């Protein structure tokens, strides 16, 4: 997938994104932002006891949390100081299981950037490069209070 060029904030860095996630569910799940491109944000998450279901494979809810983290973070990294974004709707298709002990990589792409909403697509792959989940999220653009 390619997506639209992303209007990143000038002060955006991987260090800043990873530091901002300290003490949150993002850190608890082991999510790390790894790459910022002209049209994407990428990160990784381990498949371990924090993200597995009892059968020893990646929990679908953890995939969705990972997808929303990537897109929500990317979306907020496009906002000026007067606005922020909040997730409004997310969907996900889980395509294949990922066993405990692997790592997944997710990449989010901007599909639509409007005055009141943004739409992002998220692709999640396993260590072998296979697509394991595809997700789409709509973000509401709101004024900061």
Catalytic residues: 68
H-assigned helices in the chain: 14-20, 25-28, 60-76
CB 53 within 8 A of CB 112: no
SS3 for 129?
A: coil
Contacts of 22 (CB under 8 A, 6+ apart): none
């Amino acid at each position: 997938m390619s997506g639209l060029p992303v209007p990143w904030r000038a002060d955006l860095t991987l260090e800043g994104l990873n530091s901002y996630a300290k003490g949150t569910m993002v850190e608890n799940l082991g999510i790390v932002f790894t790459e910022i491109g002209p049209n994407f944000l990428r990160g990784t998450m381990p498949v371990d006891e924090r993200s597995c279901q009892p059968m020893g494979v990646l929990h679908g809810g953890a995939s969705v949390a990972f997808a929303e983290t990537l897109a929500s973070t990317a979306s907020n990294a496009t906002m000026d100081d007067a606005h922020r974004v909040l997730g409004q709707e997310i969907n996900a298709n889980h395509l294949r299981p990922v066993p405990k002990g692997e790592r997944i990589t997710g990449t989010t792409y901007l599909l639509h950037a409007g005055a009141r909403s943004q739409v992002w697509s998220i692709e999640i792959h396993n260590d072998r490069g296979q697509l394991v989940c595809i997700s789409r999220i709509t973000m509401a653009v709101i004024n900061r209070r």
